[in-house]
Amino acid sequence: MRDKKNIIVLKFGGTSVGDKDKIKRVADRIIKTRLEGNSVVVTVSAMGDATDRLIELAGKVASSPSRREMDMLLSTGEQASSALLAMAIQEKGYGCISLSGGQAGILTDDVYSNAKILNINVDRINREFKKDRVVVVAGFQGVNTDGNITTLGRGGSDITAVALASALKARYCEVHTDVGGVYSADPNLVDGAIKLETLSYDEMLELASSGAKVIHSRAVEFARKHNVILHIRSSFNDVEGTWVMDDYKKDEIMEKPLITGVTYDIGETKVSIFGLEDKPGIAAKLFGKLADADIDVDLIVQNVSEKNFAAISFTVKNEDLSLAKEILNKLKSIRVEVDTDIAKVSIVGAGMQTHPGVAAKMFKILADRDINIEMISTSPIRISCVVKKSRIKEAIKALHSGFGLAK
């Protein structure tokens, strides 16, 4: 084991601090961890819809606000919720201080709105620990070397929490969610979905990338890279959640269930491009332009070429669609079709590495129910299929029971 101090990092999302009562409840939760003898760092997102309201305001004063100013604006949301949470903890009689990302020593690169953390200088946090204070750090933000405020992009608060846990050599990083852990499928959709006790980083990464909303995949990657143990749990009760850690029992993979969970994502749109010249480098150029604009392309399917013209379909996040269309419309002599009536269902499991035939079984389960598969993508421990949005619930339930995941 590495040298782990008695430090725990807790992360609370925006809904957990959405109003005064929730803030007070979160304060109680933090104090409980503090009273168990831990030094506690808390990372918090902006309250409820605060960020959305700021984005809307920015859209009213400027058609395309600069990213530098957007970061200056949006970072106020986390700063405010951090200060309010610190007040609530102090009110209950415990030492506490809130710090902005910059004050907490979080140094990032210069990529506004999508910055990467370069380094965390934990001197200030350690000084506050010596004063016996809980430290609340505004999530999602840092400063660059010039002292300008940057934000970390999607999953920013999760990344702040994991990066702080790594820099502080915390025992683990506790991510609080509404649902209390990672399940074999969304418990709101599937009766008998079971909470998973432990997951490897790879499994959590595939689950997070394919739709599980409990933690952002960028944060899981960071945790894997820096070996930060994650505990994904509920902020409403004391029940153990799901632990994510190093390939804790690699030799036991054979005994693991074939698949761990079924996830889904209804936040993507399928974009199809017709009339693309079928010569080397064309696809690379196309996806290069999308990548330059920070658009995450998920599944890609290239059709067989016909008369020297190719057709490519891929999926993008719904919020990136208008930007993607803008970029594609600048390309000559192609036709773009958009299909928003899609959803992606995935099965994830380390066990499938050693069991051939999992994909075939998945396709058969869907075929047996006449659910058409429009696109497929795979990783060593994940298989994803794009289906019609109207069929997604049925697909999830069928796969969950078909692979024997139900209680």
Q: Which residues contribute to the site for its own copies (CB under 8 A)? A: 20, 23-24, 54, 57-58, 60-66, 68-70, 72-73, 75-77, 79-80, 82-88, 90-91, 97-98, 100, 102-103, 124, 147-149
DSSP 15-76: GGGSSHHHHHHHHHHHHHHHHTT-EEEEEE--STTHHHHHHHHHHHH-SS--HHHHHHHHHH
**Which of 157/184 has CB closer to its own copies?**
157
Considering the complex, what minimum distance in angstroms separates the CB of residue 44 from its own copies?
Answer: 13
396 phi/psi in degrees, rounded to 5: -60, -50
**Which of 54/338 has CB closer to its own copies?**
54
- What's the token pair of residue 195? 């909470």
Considering the complex, what minimum distance in angstroms separates the CB of residue 289 from its own copies?
Answer: 24
Question: How far, in whole angstroms, is CA 339 from its chain's centroid?
Answer: 24
**Which of 96/342 has CB closer to its own copies?**
96
Question: How far, in whole angstroms, is CA 221 from its chain's centroid?
Answer: 10
**Which of 32/53 has CB closer to its own copies?**
53
Considering the complex, what minimum distance in angstroms separates the CB of residue 65 from its own copies?
Answer: 4
**Which of 20/369 has CB closer to its own copies?**
20
**Which of 58/283 has CB closer to its own copies?**
58
- The C-alpha atoms of residue 374 and residue 84 are separated, in whole angstroms, by 48
Considering the complex, what minimum distance in angstroms separates the CB of residue 330 from its own copies?
Answer: 22
Sheet holding 335-339, edge to edge: 297-302, 309-317, 268-277, 335-339
In this structure, are strands 309-317 and 268-277 parallel, antiparallel, or unpaired? antiparallel
Considering the complex, what minimum distance in angstroms separates the CB of residue 4 from its own copies?
Answer: 29
Considering the complex, what minimum distance in angstroms separates the CB of residue 33 from its own copies?
Answer: 19
Nearest by Cα to 140 from 123, 157, 124, 165: 157
Helix (H) or strand (E) holding 172: strand 172-177
Considering the complex, what minimum distance in angstroms separates the CB of residue 156 from its own copies?
Answer: 17
Distances (CA, A) of 7 to 38, 90, 167, 228, 235: 6, 20, 11, 12, 18
Provide the 8-state DSSP code for 258.
Answer: S
**Which of 21/370 has CB closer to its own copies?**
21
